[in-house]
Amino acid sequence: MAATQPIVGFTRNPVGTPEIPGVCVKVLGAGKPSRDELLGFVPGLSALVTMYTDAVDDELLDAAGDQLKVICNFAVGYDNINISACKNRGIVVCNTPDAVTEGTANIAWLLILASARRLIEADRYARSPDYPKHGQLGMDEFLGMDLCNKLLLVVGAGRIGYATAQRAKAFGMRIAYVARSRHLDFEMAQLGAHRMTLEEGLAAADVVSVHTPLTEQTRHLLNADNLRLLKKEAIVVNTARGPVIDEQALVNALDEERLWAAGLDVYEKEPEVHPGLIENPRVVLTPHIGSAESAWRRAMTEMVCANVAAVLGDR
């Protein structure tokens, strides 16, 4: 290896083989590194590829050194990165927006369907000795929710929200969205969605699917006050960031049977999951696997490599 080759560091094992001409690739490991491991990994790197759980702050940037030119987050969100600190050092920050869209919309729909049709309860029951003892189910057992002609409220009208809404049309759902400004792509004939305020949407929705990024303005966007607006038959799904929903308020709403169900891929104190969510059979839980489809993860690796090559090549 030539001494002048820039070094690109991945904090996790990438999916597929990173192909970046003229660089040396280093990989830290498979699991989430400790803070000390991360600080020890970054010195000398020209490019750093992080995951959403890797906190990038002044301490890490100081440890990396002045030769660090670009940080690529292996995610669409980048709330783990101190953007101001990077900007002050002239470090470019990239993410992988397009590559996560379809996979995350798919997991949103997995959670919607599993919640609507009580999949977790049914799966547990079918595995238990109670099923053969009981015999064939009667007419009024394990009744789920029909989604046809129900209203899907998309909170956050970006790429993933749009892809989730597209899938809703196949189930005969009506669509509304919440966003800071109008999105004509949502309102055109293909989706026929209409824009609502958050309060209007929560009061009308049968399914709420959260797709907004985490900012100081969106932290606890769904909270004790506005969750009370939901119908008792409503479903809440979150594939964005956990802290967008006040988790204790959600648990309270579920415990008090003010909601039909919830489907969550993200958590407020991830990877910790609130015991009230774990214990509730009407909650479907997945461990932040929104983009975890092999084809899309390979696409994310390719996008990261293209971003690194563009920055290091001054393109």
Q: What is the pLDDT along the chain (315 residues), one digit of tens a residue?
A: 445 799 999 999 999 899 899 999 999 988 889 999 999 999 999 999 999 899 999 999 999 999 999 999 999 889 999 999 999 999 999 999 888 899 999 999 999 999 999 999 999 999 999 999 998 888 889 999 999 999 999 999 999 999 999 999 999 999 999 999 999 999 998 899 999 999 999 999 999 999 999 999 999 999 999 999 999 999 999 999 999 999 999 999 999 999 999 999 999 999 999 999 999 999 999 999 998 899 989 999 999 999 999 999 875
Measured over the CA atoms of residue 291, residue 95, residue 236 and residue 245, the dihedral's sign is positive
SS (H, E, C) the chain: CCCCCCEEEECCCCCCCCCCCCCEEEECCCCCCCHHHHHHHCCCCCEEEECCCCCECHHHHHHHCCCCCEEEECCCCCCCECHHHHHHCCCEEECCCHHHHHHHHHHHHHHHHHHHCCHHHHHHHHHCCHHHHHCCCCCCCCCCCCCCCCEEEEECCCHHHHHHHHHHHHCCCEEEEECCCCCHHHHCCCCCCEECCHHHHHHHCCEEEECCCCCCCCCCCECHHHHCCCCCCCEEEECCCHHHECHHHHHHHHHCCCCCEEEECCCCECCECCHHHHCCCCEEECCCCCCCCHHHHHHHHHHHHHHHHHHHCCC
Residues with catalytic roles: 241, 270, 288
In angstroms, rounded to a whole number, what is the distance separating the alpha carbons of residues 124 and 281?
9
Contact 8, 46 (CB under 8 A): yes
In angstroms, rounded to a whole number, what is the distance separating the alpha carbons of residues 12 and 295?
17
Domains of the chain in sequence order = 7-95+295-312 (3.40.50.720), 100-281 (3.40.50.720)
Which residue in this structure is represented by tokens 């290896």?
1
pLDDT number for residue 137: 87
pLDDT number for residue 76: 87
pLDDT number for residue 2: 46
